[in-house]
Amino acid sequence: MTLHDWIDELCDALDIETEVDEGLILDLARDAAHNVERVAAPITTYLLGYAAALHEADPVRLEALAAAATELAEKFGASAAKEDTEDYEEYVETVDPVDV
């Protein structure tokens, strides 16, 4: 079974008809997983789908929504990386070299 087959079967099971840009969805899932945490991927893509439904999103609007979510994930990741660096630098300042 291919991804396209899975998508077709899933749409049938969910009783929906839609075109899926799997590249867009997978890219967003990757960005959320890498910049936030792994479990953020399915939640992020679910919320993108929910937002798309609420906004009756056409493909262009869907891309804009996904871009906004990706940008947020990247900012979140940059912020977390900065905090980790600051925590490490603070820890290094408190370590006595004699104890190491």
Write the pLDDT tens digit of every residue in 23-63: 999 999 999 999 999 999 999 999 999 999 998 888 899 99
Q: Which residue range is the domain that position 33 belongs to? A: 20-94
Q: How confident is the model at residue 82 (pLDDT cuts 50, 70, 90)?
A: low
Helix, strand, or coil (residue 21): coil
Q: Is the pLDDT of residue 18 over 80?
A: yes
For residue 32, how many other CB atoms are within 10 A of its CB? 27
Q: How confident is the model at residue 83 (pLDDT cuts 50, 70, 90)?
A: low
Note whether residue 44 is domain-resident: yes
Structural domain count, the chain: 1
Note whether residue 3 is domain-resident: no
pLDDT digits (tens, 9 = 90+) for 52-67: 999 888 889 999 999 9
Note whether residue 27 is domain-resident: yes
Which candidate, 60, 51, 55, 53, places its Cα nearest to that of 24?
60
